[in-house]
A and B are shown apart, each in its own frame.
Chain A
Amino acid sequence: QSVLTQPPSVSGAPGQSVAIFCNGSSSNIGAYYDVQWYQQLPGTAPKLLMYGNGNRPSGVPDRFSGSRYGTSASLAITGLQVEDEADYYCQSYDNSLGVYFFGSGTRVTVL
Chain B
Amino acid sequence: QVQLVQSGSELKKPGASVKVSCKASGYTFTDHAMNWVRQAPGQGLEWMGWIHTETGNATYAQGFSGLFVFSLDTSVSTAYLEIRNLKPADTAVYYCVRGHGCSFKKCYLDYWGQGSLVTVSS
Interface size class on chain B is 20 to 34
B47 touches A104 (CB 8 A): no
Binds A, one of B15-23, B67-75, B77-85, B105-113: B105-113
CB contacts between A and B, total, < 8 Å: 65
Complex CA–CA separation, A36 to B100 (angstroms): 12
Complex CA–CA separation, A98 to B24 (angstroms): 27
Residue in chain B with minimal CB distance to A102: B45
B45 touches A48 (CB 8 A): no
**Which residue from A36, A98, A105 sits with its C-beta under 8 Å from B44?**
A105
B44 touches A34 (CB 8 A): no
User: Dominant SS at the B interface?
Assistant: strand
Does B3 have its Cβ within 8 Å of any Cβ on chain A?
Answer: no
Q: A45-B95, A89-B44, A99-B49 known; A52 and B62 CB under 8 Å? A: no
CB of B98, distance to nearest CB on chain A (Å)? 10
Complex CA–CA separation, A1 to B64 (angstroms): 14
Residue in chain A with minimal CB distance to B59: A99
- A47: chain B residues at CB < 8 Å are 112
CB of B51, distance to nearest CB on chain A (Å)? 13
Q: CB within 8 Å of B: which residues of A?
A: 2, 33-34, 36, 38, 40, 45-48, 51-52, 57, 87, 89, 91, 93, 95, 97-105
Closest 10 CB pairs between A and B? A51-B108, A105-B44, A45-B112, A102-B45, A36-B108, A99-B61, A93-B105, A34-B106, A100-B47, A48-B110
